[in-house]
Structure 1
Amino acid sequence: MAISEAEAVVMEVLWNRAPRAAEEILAEVGPAQNWQEGTVKSLLNRLLRKKAVHAERDGRRYLYSPLLTREDYVQQESKGLLDRLFGGRVAPLVAHFSEQRKLSKKDIAELRKLLRDLDDEQS
Structure 2
Amino acid sequence: MADEIPTLGELESRVLQLVWQYQPCSERHISDVVREERDVARTTVLKTMQRLEAKGLLQRDGARPAQYTATVEQQQVLPELVRRFVEGALGGSAEPLVAYLAGQKKLSAKDIQTLKKIAGKIDS
TM-score, L = length of structure 1: 0.72
What does 1:54-69 correspond to in 2, within 5 Å?
A: 54-59=59-64, 61-69=65-73
- The 1:20–1:97 alpha-carbon spacing in structure 2 relative to 1, beyond 3 Å, is closer
Which piece of structure 1 moves more, 48-57 or 28-37?
28-37
Largest Rg, 1 or 2: 1
Gaps of 5+ in 1: none
Aligned to 1:76: 80
Report the CA distance between 1:40 and its aligned residue: 1.2
Decide which of 9, 22, 27 is 1:17's aligned counterpart: 22
Report the CA distance between 1:16 and its aligned residue: 0.7
Gaps of 5+ in 2: 1-5
Distance 2:69 2:61 in 1: 8
Runs of 4+ residues over 6 Å off in structure 1? none
Distance 1:93 1:77 in 2: 13
Distance 2:48 2:22 in 1: 17
Aligned to 1:4: 9
Decide which of 84, 96, 116 is 2:120's aligned counterpart: 116
Percentage of identical aligned residues: 17
Report the CA distance between 1:78 and its aligned residue: 1.4
- The 1:97–1:21 alpha-carbon spacing in structure 2 relative to 1, beyond 3 Å, is closer
Report the CA distance between 1:33 and its aligned residue: 1.4
Instruction: State the structure with bigger RCO (CA 8 A, min sep 6), 1 or 2.
Output: 2
Distance 1:86 1:15 in 2: 29
Report the CA distance between 1:72 and its aligned residue: 2.0
Distance 1:4 1:97 in 2: 20
Per-residue deviation, residues 6-43 of structure 1 (Å, max 9, x unmatched): 01111111111211111111122213211222111100
